[in-house]
Amino acid sequence: MNHAVVCFLIFLVNIYLVTTLEDQQHWKNLGIEDIEAALKQQQNIGLAKNVILFIGDGMGPTTTTAARIYSNSEKHYLSFEKFPNVGVLKTYSADQLVPDSCSTATALFCGVKANVKTSGVDATVKYGDCAASLNKEAQLDSLISWAQAAGKRTGFVTTTRVTHATPSALYAHSPNRNWECESKMSPNASQCKDIARQLIEDLPGRNINVIMGGGRQCLVSDVTGTSDDPIDTWSCFSRDGRNLIEDWKISKSKSGVSHAVVANNNDLNTLKLNTEYVLGIFANGHLKMNHERNPAPHGMPSLTNMTEKAILLLQNNRNGFFLMVEGGMIDFAHHRGHARQALSETVEFSNAVQKAVELTKKVSYETLIIVTADHSHSLVFTGSAKRSVSILGADEKSEIDNIPYTTLLYGTGGGNNYQFEVVDNTMKRRNPQLDDTISYDYSQQAAVLVDEVKHSGTDVIIYAVGPMAHLFHNVHEQTYVAYVISYAAKIGPFAGNGGENVSFVKYLLISVIIINCFVSKILRE
């Protein structure tokens, strides 16, 4: 059967589904089902013993919409899109309308707005100001610090370097996100520690139970690249002779705690779940995209693999745990204009959320799961595409230049090979139908040419389920997230505040159960 016949049959099936199954009764039934589900929804005002915060880096509303369609269809839902509580977050930084990942991470994790390119410090610290970042009053405590003070186990998982922008705000106080290791630091910053050293040597970094991601070249000087795991030329590459991984192992041995360093899938899969401290460094730079990673024993784990193992390691603690999970390569793909890669990473991010939901199902009443993004991207979903065509297709023509354009475009982007071509000695926008727009490596065309796709200042969506999830209910400042977690888990600013109410409700319920049992016994007699 040739390609044209297959396409025609698919078209007929789509027409049938739309015209036959999606009649008036279909939409009426769907509306009734949604109303019934909404009416059954009850607020959980209990204590959040466990908190899992998922950050889709660069996962703006357009990305989630396109990923939903890419993964199945427009009628589909990503795992977190069915969470009962949804709100909106404003993402501007202290000094810019359009933020970066470490300023937004500082807002999310510390509850205070920061300047762009600074991490774990307040807005009194300007970019690159080492002296200002050493001021203790300017250094911010994070959710990790709050959770550790409450006796919770803590961890973070990322597909980026463990010293990268988002995770750094959990444990570091840096005026420059690029100071991941010493080789990127300026001569006048000798009094400041790089981010990698803060993770391994300082609090709260050295007390984090589970650390998983990439960034070996920031932690160890004498590393070499391979075809499967090259040196990241965009990143910091330590040259001072350090081996912070070995230093971490020595520190844990002296403390007498069980610990393990894991470097590939086999290490992760065979890891004992009673290990108290785990340092998983799976790449020199960022981890591979999920579609290109090697799933073999010597390869790199997926975000879902790491999330599953992290939860299993952290959950055996009577005080509960806090875990941050970052899908960092969504942003990486967007910056290069690779829409399919970004959608694929978003689907894997959704899979990781689903795995977390499954693993905490038995304790869902005391587990708060939050899913959001740090910032958006300039991905555009436009035109009048038919429901029967691919979200990655180019099915329409511009009325101006009469050249087709893809359904997904970028507001800004690099001058890639798919942008322009010379026709009859005239520079014209290239016809995307000449290229494989469904390829992972295809770069969508952009309205304005810049060095790479820029972030967007558009609000992002936040999804939540579990104790106090209903507190996300309208448009919020991004800093609000830290305080909801603080209040729900009774850590940080709200430590001990309101816990007595939770205890009262618990004792009241126990009393009611005992009385009911007593009354039932009397009635039986």
For the chain, the domains span: 3-40, 50-378+454-494, 396-449, 495-525
Instruction: Examine the pLDDT at 16 and tell me if it is beyond 70.
Output: no
pLDDT for 222 equals: 93
Binding region:
57, 164, 166, 326, 331, 335, 374-375, 455
The residue ranges of DSSP E strands in 106-225, in sequence order, are: 153-161, 210-214
Q: What is the mean pLDDT of the chain?
A: 92
Domain 50-378+454-494 has CATH 3.40.50.300: no
Q: Write the pLDDT tens digit of every residue in 91-143.
A: 999 999 999 999 999 999 999 999 999 999 999 999 999 999 999 999 999 99
Residue type, 248: W
DSSP string, 9-35: HHHHHHHHIIIIISSHHHHHHHHHHHH
Binding region for Zn(2+):
57, 331, 335, 374-375, 455
Structure tokens at 14: 């789509």
Please provide residue 462's backbone torsions phi and psi, each rounded to the nearest 5 degrees. -125, 135
Instruction: Examine the pLDDT at 238 and tell me if it is beyond 60.
Output: yes
| Cα–Cα distance for residue pair 419/33, rounded to 1 Å | 46
Choice between 25 and 341, residue whose per-residue pLDDT is larger: 341
Binding region for Mg(2+):
57, 164, 166, 326
Residues 79, 101, 142, 378: which is the catalytic one? 101
Q: With beta carbons less than 8 A apart as the criterion, state whether 96 and 116 touch.
A: yes
Q: How far is CA 31 from CA 21, 24, 262, 379, in A?
A: 15, 11, 49, 30
| Cα–Cα distance for residue pair 521/500, rounded to 1 Å | 31
Query: Range with the lowest mean pLDDT among 4-8, 20-24, 369-373?
Result: 4-8
DSSP H or E segment with residue 475: strand 475-477
pLDDT for 21 equals: 77
Angle at 475 between CA 125 and CA 373, to 5 degrees: 60
Please provide residue 298's backbone torsions phi and psi, each rounded to the nearest 5 degrees. -90, 0
pTM score of the predicted model: 0.91
Q: Write the pLDDT tens digit of every residue in 198-224.
A: 999 999 999 999 999 999 999 999 999
Confidence of residue 423 (pLDDT cuts 50, 70, 90): confident
pLDDT for 418 equals: 87
| Active site (annotated) includes residue 255 | no
| Cα–Cα distance for residue pair 443/155, rounded to 1 Å | 35
Structure tokens at 412: 């800004």
Question: 309: closest CA among 264, 245, 244, 253?
Answer: 264
Instruction: Examine the pLDDT at 522 and tell me if it is beyond 60.
Output: no
Confidence of residue 521 (pLDDT cuts 50, 70, 90): low
Summarize the confidence of residues 26-49 as an average pLDDT.
91
Question: 299: closest CA among 328, 271, 268, 273?
Answer: 268
Q: Which residues, 6 or more positions from 205, have their beta carbon under 8 angstroms from its beta carbon?
A: 171, 172, 198, 199
Beta strands 259-262 and 277-281, pairing class: parallel
pLDDT for 376 equals: 98
- Reply yes or no: is the peptide bond before residue 204 cis, omega within 30 of 0: yes
C-beta neighbour count of 210 within 10 angstroms: 24
pLDDT for 101 equals: 98
Summarize the confidence of residues 426-442 as an average pLDDT.
94
Q: Write the pLDDT tens digit of every residue in 146-182.
A: 999 999 999 999 999 999 999 999 999 999 999 999 9
